[in-house]
Structure 1
């Protein structure tokens, strides 16, 4: 059963730019994901940061200690300095990332476009999150000032990526076979050339017709070729 996040994302992605008012009219009225869905996408993209913080919170002096059994023994110690924070934040990021993957898998691109030029840009996808993760590798949950600073920083990052239409660009998608392209394309029956960024699970080829779905300013392509394409 699909939850509300999946329904909202599918409605957004399956909008037909040729359906009402033509391709140009629809492009001027690009939809934004709902705030809740956007937060899920954004939080999931920072899964590596939560894993780094979890590793930094681990008490390595207890790594070779004897297993504690039963676990309710008063002498048992959790090998984390701030278990509540680190485990909760890591769990939330894992959950959000899984939901994001399931939502992407549920999208069914339906709007055809004809690609004229394709340029695979793998490095660009890495630029959206990883530099910010490296900046906070020395962060510790026990350093309250730095932790609050991180939350403020991530709040600004969310606002910037949400407003810029790049929220869907998650570098972790590379691990799951997604590729980022810069392309020139036209809509069938409209010779006006346009440019776009595309996330695709396929190796895109020029002079080929594909079905796409739009999320913010990024197209999603999943099948190797549109039915009836050239």
Structure 2
């Protein structure tokens, strides 16, 4: 259970990589664009081009690492178990939970505004708990941007008449009565279509 929570938290943090990029851009000191480059920073006239770099850069770096971890896991998954897809229903991602923090970021939110920033962290913490408990953590807009789609599928294993319903992620357009290969991560099927008709 502990590993599942950590993995889920990594996926959740990675989904807000665009938000960290927005806040990083808002934290940049654009008046320094015309200044000459100098090194090392912090000595003499050399200054950091970010107002609150001790927060903005680590937050950006953490989200970036989580993004690479999330997509790295999906990339290394090799579906090998054959299943027959009986039904496949595409589920559009609910973007509202992910959209609200972006709207807030444009309402004068900066890292130096401690109260607002802490409030955002509390909000994101509650969103993680809600999405984790409701099983909607995989409704991730970043997955959509990279071609992944969420389905509710009913499948059966070859030679087994018992049908099972589950959520599945796939980069293929899943169709009923086809045979696919699956792997399972965190109780979610990862499906690769083989484009063959399933036997009755």
TM-score interval (norm. to shorter):
0.7 to 0.9
Give the unaligned 5+ runs of structure 2: none
Partner of 1:154: 124
Measured at CA, do residues 109 and 33 of structure 1 come closer, stay the same or move farther in structure 2, by a change above 3 Å? farther
- 1:166–1:217: 8 Å Cα contact kept in structure 2? no
Q: Secondary structure at the match of 2:93?
A: helix
- The structure where strand makes up a greater share of residues is 2
1:94 and 2:64 aligned? yes
Partner of 2:185: 215
Partner of 1:16: none
Give the unaligned 5+ runs of structure 1: 1-30
1:217 shift after superposition: 4.8
Measured at CA, do residues 70 and 216 of structure 1 come closer, stay the same or move farther in structure 2, by a change above 3 Å? closer
Aligned mate of 1:68, from 15, 37, 41 = 37
Structure 1 runs of 4+ aligned residues shifted over 4 Å read 226-230
Aligned mate of 1:185, from 155, 159, 163 = 155
Measured at CA, do residues 214 and 160 of structure 1 come closer, stay the same or move farther in structure 2, by a change above 3 Å? farther
1:192 shift after superposition: 4.5
Q: Secondary structure at the match of 1:66?
A: coil
1:50 and 2:20 aligned? yes
Structure-to-structure mapping, 1:76-115, within 5 angstroms: 76-115=46-85
1:91 shift after superposition: 0.5
- 1:128–1:171: 8 Å Cα contact kept in structure 2? no
Alpha-carbon RMSD across the aligned residues, in angstroms, is: 2.7
Q: Secondary structure at the match of 1:109?
A: coil
* Whole-angstrom CA distance in 2 between matches of 1:179 and 1:203: 8
Q: Secondary structure at the match of 2:167?
A: strand
* Whole-angstrom CA distance in 1 between matches of 2:106 and 2:86: 42
Measured at CA, do residues 110 and 163 of structure 1 come closer, stay the same or move farther in structure 2, by a change above 3 Å? farther
1:200 and 2:164 aligned? no
Partner of 1:34: 4
Measured at CA, do residues 125 and 215 of structure 1 come closer, stay the same or move farther in structure 2, by a change above 3 Å? farther
- 1:32–1:216: 8 Å Cα contact kept in structure 2? no
TM-score w.r.t. the length of structure 2 is: 0.83
Q: How many residues matched?
A: 197
1:54 shift after superposition: 0.7
* Whole-angstrom CA distance in 2 between matches of 1:159 and 1:166: 10
